[in-house]
Structure 1
Amino acid sequence: MSGSNQQPVGLFPLCYRIGTSAPGAQSLALNLLVFTPEQTVSGTATITQATNPPLDVHSDVWGEYTYLTVMSPGVSKILITAQGNNGGPGSNSIVNFKLHLVVGSDWREGVANYEYYNGERWVQVTAPAHLVESVPSNAYKSVPLEPGPVIPAYPPIMPLYAAPIQSAIASGDLAQMKNLARLAQQQLDQQPQLQSALETAKGEISRQERR
């Protein structure tokens, strides 16, 4: 296996639904922001299950991804590894979620192996993963939904989160408001890194254009 040499610059959201249609099966909602300059991911994970009592596990997630070449040259996969707790990597909360997710080079679907702590023991789950939209598509008029190099227009937080947050406020959906607010704050926290990466990319573009 070998990693990809390509290092696109960008920050883009991914929303996966992981699970099967089997009655009583766990369902994982995984919302991530991918930061390509450092090949890192951060976001939230929510695991639910229609049991008695119902399962409802929430985690603040962080991790990384790598490119893999499997089976034959030219067949690439992406491996996302992450863990989560309540509060993120800077908190003293114990880890209650672990993830290994392998998806295709287009990020759209794959297979997830994850573990979660249900308060008594660790539970392991293997299930298919599918990419979905976490907010209405018209909220992304200024930013492409397709995974890839994305440099949002300035101010960078507005085109990505203002519309969906306002929509969540109007709907009164507390869970959605909290989730979008958390993701928006994570993007704001990463803006200095994104700006630095953008300046580096501009310098490389200028250098190559002068050849």
Structure 2
Amino acid sequence: MSGSNQQPVGLFPLAYRIGTSMPGAQTLALNILVFTPDETVNGTAAITQATNPPLDVHSDVWGEYTYLTVMSPGVSKILITAQGNHGGSGSNSIVNFKLQLVVGTDWKEGIANYSYLNGQQWVEVNNAPAHLIEAVPSHVSLPPLEPGPVIPPESSYPPIMPLYAAPIQSAMASGDLAQMKNLSRLAQQQLDQQPQLQTALETAKEEISRQERR
């Protein structure tokens, strides 16, 4: 992976809320799975706004990320580029969503430019603030169920929230139907990618053994 030697390894979820958070403002809820072996992302996007008629655009998204490394004392960034439609990359549905999201190397905060198809017209939103959110409040402690969390190596990164057992339980407890649907879809994507994750894990173990023999 370019740009750094200390990166989370495997498969982990990120949930962003993109927008100003002002009353009545447009909001993009972006829920993605990051797959580090091939630097790809998959997930869902939901754009909502309390207008008349209300804005409600949903997409299944896929894309990739790359590290934007600059010379010291500059600050490195991560660029996430994605697009979306109804059904994902394997469907014949037309693209109705495009995204460029730049975040810090801790994945926490950033700025997004995105566009969406609202009927027959593309609408562009630029320089929207993006914030990483937690699916489970920090004071709530729930036991992990399968599939369990992917544990990153020791690094400067904050803990990435565990995958989907605890967040799904929290969404069920709150009665948040939209969140339950999003998490269920992402959890299924994680389960579908378990063979790839297992292969990546075995490769990592072989590399560890090779490095230790030096």
Indicate the TM-score class for this superposition, using the shorter chain for normalisation. Answer: 0.7 to 0.9
Pair 1:168–1:65, CA change in 2 (3 A): same
Structure 2 match to 1:189? 192
Structure 2 match to 1:109? 109
Pair 1:189–1:49, CA change in 2 (3 A): same
Structure 2 match to 1:25? 25
The one-letter code matched in structure 2 to 1:121 is: Q
Name the CA distance, whole Å, in 2 between partners of 1:167 and 1:25.
26
Q: Give the secondary-structure state (helix, strand or coil) at the position aligned to 2:89.
A: coil
Q: Deviations over 1:125-166 (max 9, x none)?
A: 020111111344535756379xx459xxxxxxxx73233334
Q: Give the deviation of 1:70 after TM superposition.
A: 3.6
Name the CA distance, whole Å, in 2 between partners of 1:83 and 1:64.
10
Matches within 5 A, 1:168-179: 168-179=171-182
Q: Give the secondary-structure state (helix, strand or coil) at the position aligned to 1:160.
A: coil
What RMSD over aligned residues (CA atoms) do the two structures have, in Å?
2.4
Matches within 5 A, 1:1-211: 3-4=2-3, 6=5, 9-70=9-70, 72=72, 75-126=75-126, 127-137=128-138, 138-139=141-142, 143=149, 148=152, 160-211=163-214
The farther-off stretch of 109-118 and 172-181 is 172-181
Q: Deviations over 1:171-195 (max 9, x none)?
A: 4433222111100110011111110
2:13–2:163 contact (8 Å) kept in structure 1? no
Q: Give the deviation of 1:94 after TM superposition.
A: 0.9
Name the CA distance, whole Å, in 2 between partners of 1:135 and 1:8.
20
Which consecutive unaligned segments of at least 5 residues does structure 1 have?
151-158
- Between Structure 1 and Structure 2, the one with more helix by share is 1
Q: Deviations over 1:13-64 (max 9, x none)?
A: 1111100144543110111110000100011111011211110111111100
Q: Give the deviation of 1:71 after TM superposition.
A: 6.6
The one-letter code matched in structure 2 to 1:199 is: E
Name the CA distance, whole Å, in 2 between partners of 1:173 and 1:109.
25
Indicate the percent of aligned positions where both proteins have the same amino acid: 80
2:10–2:150 contact (8 Å) kept in structure 1? no
The one-letter code matched in structure 2 to 1:16 is: Y
Q: Give the deviation of 1:91 after TM superposition.
A: 1.1
The one-letter code matched in structure 1 to 2:186 is: L
Name the CA distance, whole Å, in 2 between partners of 1:207 and 1:197.
15
- Report the count of equivalent residues: 199
Name the CA distance, whole Å, in 2 between partners of 1:91 and 1:133.
30
The farther-off stretch of 159-168 and 186-195 is 159-168
Which consecutive unaligned segments of at least 5 residues does structure 2 have?
155-161
Q: Taking structure 1 as the reference length, what is the TM-score of the superposition? A: 0.84
1:4–1:68 contact (8 Å) kept in structure 2? yes
The one-letter code matched in structure 2 to 1:107 is: W
